[in-house]
Amino acid sequence: MNTPAHLIANTALLGHGGLSGHERWILVGALFPDLGMVGFFLWQTFVLGTSQSQIWGVEYFRDGWQLFFDLGNSIPLAALVCVAGHLWRRPALLAFGASVSLHALLDLALHHDDGHRHFLPLSAWRYASPVSYWDPAHLGWLGALLELAFVVVGSGVLLRRYSVRWLRIVLPSLVLLQTGIYVRFVLFGAVG
């Protein structure tokens, strides 16, 4: 899934009940697994001047980068953070760990050959989902539609839950952007 979809889905799913009031940590947890990739992209593009085809076709798949990305997407490590947050009675830590876990679980379900080793350090196994959020060769139309559904439904939940003015502008804008991405995918067969 794309990062904005994670932010919306995680906040909609986790930002109530016992984690209400800790939305900023849910947002940080939703963003955290993608931070390594953002840094990688910025480094490759603006410091090294690497072409986009080289970045996403070769560099992304190098062992060192994969380990870096995979540790940030580790479900066992995120679960340890959740346990620590619970034991130490730190709901912000629990919210962060739960959000990282949810991000990883959603990615697990929507990545085929570009997924992470979500069970490091316990296992180096990499699940290849039959559904990709972007790849036409692996039901990408369905993955993109599921991502769009998360954004639309999650935005509706958040707009009902919070009466913050800026959300009334940002969320519909993200829904339009995600809808545009999906239409582009359906018309041209690829996202991005």
Res 17: pLDDT: 86
Quick: pLDDT tens for 32-76.
999 999 999 999 999 999 999 999 999 999 999 999 999 999 999
Residue in 23, 191, 12 with CA at minimum distance from that of residue 111 = 191
Residue 37, classified by CB atoms within 10 Å of its CB into exposed (0-12), middle (13-18) or buried (19+), is middle
At 31 the three-state DSSP class reads helix
At 134 the three-state DSSP class reads coil
Measured in degrees and rounded to the nearest 5, phi and psi for residue 145 equal -65, -40
Quick: pLDDT tens for 96-131.
999 999 999 999 999 998 889 999 999 999 999 999
192 has a pLDDT exceeding 50: no
Q: Alpha carbon of 126 to those of 71, 107, 115, 116: distances in Å?
A: 13, 12, 7, 6
Res 190: pLDDT: 57
Quick: pLDDT tens for 169-182.
888 988 898 888 77
Structurally, the chain folds into a number of domains equal to 1
Domain that holds residue 86: 3-188
Report the distance separating Cα 17 and Cα 78, nearest Å. 20
In sequence order, which ranges of the chain are alpha helices (DSSP H)?
Answer: 3-14, 23-42, 52-57, 63-72, 75-87, 91-109, 140-161, 165-188
Residue in 183, 103, 102 with CA at minimum distance from that of residue 148 = 183
DSSP labels for 161-178?
Answer: H---HHHHHHHHHHHHHH
**Residue percentage of the chain with pLDDT more than 90:** 71
Report the distance separating Cα 99 and Cα 105, nearest Å. 10
Residues 6 or more apart whose Cβ sits within 8 Å of residue 83: 97
Res 189: pLDDT: 63
**Token digits for 173?**
């804008």
